[in-house]
Amino acid sequence: MQLPWEFQERFLGYVYVDPDAGLSAKGDRESVAELAERPGVTVRLPMGFPLRPLTAEEVSARGLPATPAWLVHFGPQPDPASPWRQDPHLQGRFHESHPNDLEVLVHDGEPRRTGRMPELCWVRVLRAERGPLRRVLNRPGQTQLSQEELQRRYSGDTWVYVARLLNAPHGLQDLHQGEELRFVSGAALYHPLHVTPQYLQERESWNITPCDKCGWSETFDPPGVMARFRFPDMPPDAELDAFTAFCPMCGGIQLLSRVGTADA
**CA-closest candidate to residue 13, choices 48, 39, 47, 44:** 39
Beta-carbon contacts of 57 under 8 Å, excluding residues fewer than 6 positions away, are none
d(CA 185, CA 104): 9
d(CA 238, CA 232): 11
Specify the pLDDT at position 149.
65
Sequential DSSP letters for 233-248: TS-TT---SEEEEE-T
Residue range 65-77: mean pLDDT, rounded: 93
231 pLDDT higher than 60 = yes
**pTM (predicted TM-score):** 0.81
d(CA 233, CA 256): 19
Angle at 104 between CA 219 and CA 152, to 5 degrees: 60
Confidence of residue 146 (pLDDT cuts 50, 70, 90): low
Angle at 69 between CA 48 and CA 59, to 5 degrees: 60
The residue among 151 and 67 whose pLDDT is bigger is 67
CB 152 within 8 A of CB 162: no
% the chain with pLDDT above 70: 92
d(CA 14, CA 67): 8
Say whether 1 sits in a helix, a strand or coil.
coil
Q: 148-156: long-range contacts at Cβ-Cβ below 8 A with a sequence spacing of 24 or more?
A: 153/187, 153/188, 154/186, 154/187, 154/188, 154/210, 154/217, 155/186, 155/217, 156/87, 156/88, 156/89, 156/185, 156/186, 156/187
Specify the pLDDT at position 107.
97
Q: Tens of pLDDT along 17-29? A: 998 899 999 999 9
Average pLDDT, the chain: 90
CB 121 within 8 A of CB 106: yes
Residue range 57-72: mean pLDDT, rounded: 94
Q: Tens of pLDDT along 79-101? A: 888 999 999 999 999 998 899 99
Beta-carbon contacts of 225 under 8 Å, excluding residues fewer than 6 positions away, are 109, 110, 113, 198
Q: Tens of pLDDT along 164-203? A: 999 999 999 999 999 999 999 988 888 999 999 999 999 9
Q: Tens of pLDDT along 200-230? A: 999 999 999 989 898 899 999 999 999 999 9
Measured in whole angstroms, the distance separating CA 263 from the mean position of its chain's CA atoms is 31
Specify the pLDDT at position 264.
43
Amino acid at 145: L
143 pLDDT higher than 70 = no
